A and B are shown apart, each in its own frame.
Chain A
Amino acid sequence: MTATRIELASRRDFLGGLFSAGALLFAAGTIPADAFAATEVSKTTWNPNLWIGLNSDGSVIIVTHRSEMGTGIRTSLPMVVADEMEADWSRVRIEQALGDTKYGSQNTDGSCSIRDFYDIMRETGATARLMLQRAAAAQWNVPVSECKASVHQVIHTPSGKKLGYGELASAAARQPLPKKEEVVLKPASEFRYIGKGVPSYDLKAMCTGKGIYGYDAQVPGMVYASIERSPVLGGKMKTFDDSAALKVAGVKQTVVMESAQPPYGFQALGGVAVIADNTWAASQGRKKLKIEWETGPHAIFSSDTYKKEMIETASKPQRVVRSLGDVDASFGSAAKLVEASYYTPLLAHAPMEPPAALAHFRDGKVEIWTATQNPQAVLTTVSAALGIKPEDVICHVTLLGGGFGRKSKPDYVAEAAILSKKLGKPVKVSWTREEDIRFDYFHATSAMYFKAGLDAAGKPQSWLQRTVYPPIGSIFDAKEQYGTGELSLGFLDMPFDVPNMRAENGPAEAHLRIGWLRSVANIYHAFGIQSFIDELAHASGKDPVEYWLAALGEPRTIDLGKQNAKYGNYGKPIDAYPLDTGRLRRVVEVVAERSGWANKKPGNGRAWGFAAHRSFLTYVAAVVEVEVDKAGKVRIPRVDIAVDCGSVIHPDRVKSQFEGAAVFGTSVAMLGEITAADGRVQQDNFSTYPVARINESPYETHIHLVPSEGLPTGAGEPGVPPMAPAIANAIFAATGKRIRELPIRKTKLV
């Protein structure tokens, strides 16, 4: 057995023992887990057994239910528990939860882990702390108020007597669970870790090659599968010949997998799997398959034609999704009219680790090890695919080698499970990069149209915006051509104070699987809106930041309900997380000051661009410096990003998310494009789908966290949307070339 196997086996044993018996926690385990069984997030608060284990040797186990794909969440949430519990971080071990609804949502997506679970983790830790204090008080026969918990021990303050957490474990476990109102959270002044941070729990493993990802999962007796899928979505196999494939050394057999039916959801796509002794043999065998496909209705899809159709749709009136005043009348009285259209292409996620899953079906149950953002979707998807109950699917979550939304769609996990059931042995499905890019759930392409009427002073008095994109909803309802979720991602919430405003949304049919990618529709909506406001500033001869702030208007909260808009606000109540233009203004002022915006003088191909955007309830403003050389090559020497994401739990990991978003946003702006012809995706690897490398990325990115005591909001995604427009606006300032289409590499700049 290797280290890989031991780790997986021990994790399985631990979690199996822990959660099937439900009794290990607080050592003596007198709290029956069933007493606190709950499926709703709010109810899980009162189940410290679910989250914390304390052994008599003082070691603490904290369960984390969110997936680690690079945000550091596997560290940050347990760190919150440890802080409130007064546990010594060096004595904490983190265990990754299995997929299970008892944890509340595990879908690590939408930049919501901290904002949805911060309070619950605090209450959980504080509950454990109180139980330890009470146990000590009972032992000393003194009032609880005289017992203070501090760094893994309880101290009787009048006498100075101390009891370690390990010594108290068994007695604490027999304490009745405190009522919610009895639990007192720490004041911020007493935080040890919250707001300060600890090194990532997986740091050492990641620097020594010991971290286990989905691609690394191994169990004895497993075989490797590589699957040939229809090159066109929804294609069916007509004929196949595996004779050459079966001659490849190491290939054992082939398995025909049923084609998925629309809507595709998270279903396995189907195709022909080649089963082999190792990954290499499986992929070599797959290349030798001869398959004829009946390609079906999506074979008509060509991204060039489709682009023209989308731009045409965006040029015409469409359904109104937000309306204020009378835009058309106001256009008639404008001193100046400005129009612009923008286009963004399909994008692939391309996480460094392509999709991979290991499944072992036996005795009517299937055990899975995979890199997933959404283990509960694994349970539902796999159980539906195998015709078994969700509770008969056991999903172990490994580290994820990047996710960006791709790994919340467990089609690849269903593939491994289907094959394991057919073969009766453990099967690992490992996608190649080519499969990852060709069979992605693509970020939608979009076409947008804008028109503004300016008064004599250059201020916008009327504003029309249209957006067209194939909707994500099409993977769940094949007829869907509008999609409402996307509208709440940076479109309905256009923040400028324009008295006459109309937002429209046109239809587009999907021919590929469309899915959410880091910051989702905010990518194109921010590109359109933040480019257009820059165009208006230049049309009016004003400084872009000054013009932007003037257009934003006085600090206020925007009530989109009064403008007939159904705004989602990232699933959060608008009164608790309002659309606050004062906070948006503040990040703009901070980034302008920290970047030295007012003193910048463009020249010699060097210039600065600006954009600001609220997404995932977080306010972000960016200033990007570009240098465009005589050959038209773009360099990004510096990026400044100001962020207001409410209270910051782990500052270094928040900063790292925004540093990374600056690079991800650079890939989106400069490089990324998926195209298709005859329904077939034309890119397949980093040669044809380039992403930003070290020499193409911002040389230095400075993150300025705006102090806030507000509710924590999102951090993983909101850094991405301002990047493309800020880069494009900088390039305009440097070269006079207005970028209205991504990626920028397609525009000749000199």
Chain B
Amino acid sequence: MIRLNVNGKSRDYQGDPEMPLLWYLRDVLELTGSKFGCGMGLCGACTVHVNGEATRSCLTSMQSLAGKEIVTIEGLSPHGDHPLQLAWEHHNVPQCGYCQSGQIMQAAALLKTKPKPGDQEIDAAMQGNICRCGTYQRIRAAIKTAAGIEVKA
């Protein structure tokens, strides 16, 4: 049995220890905000926080998570009002929206370590997260807004 904590709730897992966290979240807990995009850690759509660090849940096996604290997009803020979520709304970032959970979770981890990131730091942190609709320009602007950095129109 593996005991872990998901969005503040203690959970016991007894299934296949090799199953990646993503499928536990989606198929077992029915937390579908974390998305499947590639299954190889190439696109970032499945990004969650494990002990505060941005982690690709599609590659993280359940057996590696004993005692760990997981936060998903559903648990990022109680009312969906994390500064990044508000900035995402302000800039009308999403198009199809599918990758945005992962983008926001990645950006949230970035702001924890770099509260005022520059362009290069944003690009370095966010280049693992693909957006096929091409919302990158607005993602960059929203991260800056959330960080209190002025964004030119």
Contacts and interface: CB of A to CB of B under 8 A. Distances in A.
Nearest to B135: A660
Contacts of A397: none
Most buried by B among A211, A280, A432, A652: A280
Given A199-B92, A352-B96, A402-B133, A280 B35 contact: no
Contact of A209 (B43, B72, B135): B72
B26 A279 contact: yes
B33 A208 contact: yes
A253 interface: no
B138 A659 contact: yes
Contacts of B85: 207-208
Contact of A200 (B15, B32, B92): B92
B127 interface: yes
Contacts of A664: 132-134
A216 B74 CA distance: 14
Nearest to A1: B30
A249 B19 CA distance: 10
A432 B31 CA distance: 19
**Chain A binding surface, main DSSP class:** loop
Given A2-B30, A207-B80, 5 more contacts: A5-B30, A218-B30, A250-B16, A695-B123, A697-B134
Contact of B89 (A204, A283, A353, A657): A204
Interface in A658-675: 659-664
B135 to A, nearest CB: 7
B56 to A, nearest CB: 13
Contacts, number: 197
A207 B89 contact: yes
Interface stretch (A25-33, A69-77, A735-743): A69-77
A433 interface: yes
A306 B19 CA distance: 41
A207 B139 contact: no
28 contacts: A2-B30, A3-B30, A69-B96, A70-B96, A71-B95, A207-B80, A208-B80, A218-B32, A280-B16, A280-B23, A352-B43, A352-B133, A353-B36, A354-B37, A401-B99, A402-B96, A656-B135, A663-B134, A685-B42, A686-B42, A687-B42, A691-B132, A694-B127, A697-B134, A698-B137, A699-B119, A699-B137, A701-B137
A281 B135 CA distance: 33
Given A203-B89, A280-B20, A686-B38, A208 B126 contact: no
Contacts of B23: 278-280
Interface in B88-134: 88-89, 92-101, 104, 119, 122-124, 126-134
A58 B75 CA distance: 34
A700 interface: yes
A430 interface: yes
Contact of A278 (B27, B39, B130): B27
Given A659-B134, A686-B43, A352 B72 contact: no
B125 to A, nearest CB: 9
A351 B40 CA distance: 16
Contacts of A215: 32, 35-36
Contact of A4 (B16, B30, B98, B124): B30
B23 to A, nearest CB: 4
B89 A199 contact: yes
A546 B77 CA distance: 54
A441 interface: no
Contact of A351 (B15, B39, B132, B140): B132
B71 to A, nearest CB: 11
A265 B124 CA distance: 43
A413 interface: no
A493 B8 CA distance: 60
